[in-house]
């Protein structure tokens, strides 16, 4: 058993991961979305499976497919659907990692027919989506809860605020400043900040390697 633990340190652990963008419908043919590819979340899911974990991956629209039978993918479209899928499974998991780029706002009303072009100016009224990660933090029991943060100013301060507001154990701060990091890229430059505000800047590396670094934090948590 000791041998199994060293080779597959996450065996027996269930991990919930969110990935990709969400699409918020405007009408039957249009939506508000973003450029998230879903790669970071899918990489974390695959690396977690390789370490022995059972993974539930709640994914917004993406072309990625699970590369392991230990990863169960739940495909969703909107923030509300992602919220519902996460809450269906959250009580059963040991770890939750929110890598999705969830839309912050959605159209207040969704037109049932395609909106026709008419006036010179046109605006859509938006309302906030539910903050999925904050809602998981609010009902957290034993789960180890990890969030991401994308900031362009006061990065560390804003990330610390997110740790507190969302009741996180760890946040992965994405640096957009650095060439090669972020959306649609193969690499990421991240800084880890834990709930005691210990700051750990990481090197620019592949998203697969960032995924391994994140899972090493999870393993460390369970070996303490």
Binding of ligand CTP at residue 57 (CB under 6 A)?
Answer: no
Q: 115: which 2 tokens?
A: 């909106």
Non-local (6+) Cβ contacts of 3 within 8 A are none
Binding of ligand CTP at residue 150 (CB under 6 A)?
Answer: yes
Binding of ligand CTP at residue 181 (CB under 6 A)?
Answer: no
Tell me if residue 34 is catalytic.
Answer: yes
CB atoms < 10 A from the CB of 51, how many?
A: 20
> Judged by CB under 6 A, how many residues of this single chain contact ligand CTP?
15
For the chain, how big is the Rg over CA atoms in Å?
A: 18
Distance CA 41, CA 18 (A): 6
Binding of ligand CTP at residue 133 (CB under 6 A)?
Answer: yes
Choose the one of ligand CTP, Ca ion, none that binds residue 143, judging by a C-beta under 5 to 8 angstroms depending on kind: none
Binding of Ca ion at residue 104 (CB under 5 A)?
Answer: yes
**CA dihedral defined by 146, 148, 153, 159, rounded to 10 degrees?**
-10
Closest approach of ligand CTP to the CB of residue 19, in Å: 9
Q: 8: which 2 tokens?
A: 């597959």
Catalytic residue among 34, 154, 174, 188: 34
Q: 132: which 2 tokens?
A: 């999925």
**Catalytic amino acids?**
34
Residues that bind ligand CTP (CB under 6 A): 18, 79, 98, 100, 102, 104, 129, 131-133, 147-150, 162
């Amino acid at each position: 058993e000791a041998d199994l633990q060293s080779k597959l340190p996450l065996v027996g652990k269930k991990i919930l991961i969110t990935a990709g963008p969400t699409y918020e419908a405007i009408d039957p043919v249009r939506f508000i979305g973003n450029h998230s590819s879903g790669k970071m979340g899918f990489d974390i899911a695959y690396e977690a499976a390789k370490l022995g974990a059972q993974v539930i991956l709640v994914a917004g629209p993406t072309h990625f497919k699970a590369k392991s039978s230990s990863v169960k993918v739940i495909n969703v479209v909107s923030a509300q659907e992602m919220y519902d899928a996460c809450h269906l499974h959250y009580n059963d998991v040991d770890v939750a990692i929110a890598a999705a780029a969830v839309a912050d706002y959605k159209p207040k009303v969704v037109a049932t027919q395609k909106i026709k072009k008419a006036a010179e100016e046109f605006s859509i009224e938006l309302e906030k989506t539910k903050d999925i990660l904050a809602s998981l933090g609010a009902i957290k029991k034993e789960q180890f809860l990890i969030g991401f943060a994308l900031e362009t100013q006061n990065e560390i301060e804003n990330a610390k605020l997110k740790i507190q507001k969302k009741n996180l154990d760890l946040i992965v701060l994405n640096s957009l400043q650095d060439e090669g990091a972020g959306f649609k890229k193969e690499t990421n430059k991240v800084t880890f900040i834990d709930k005691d505000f210990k700051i750990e800047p990481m090197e620019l590396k592949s998203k697969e390697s960032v995924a391994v670094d994140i899972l090493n934090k999870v393993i460390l948590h369970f070996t303490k």
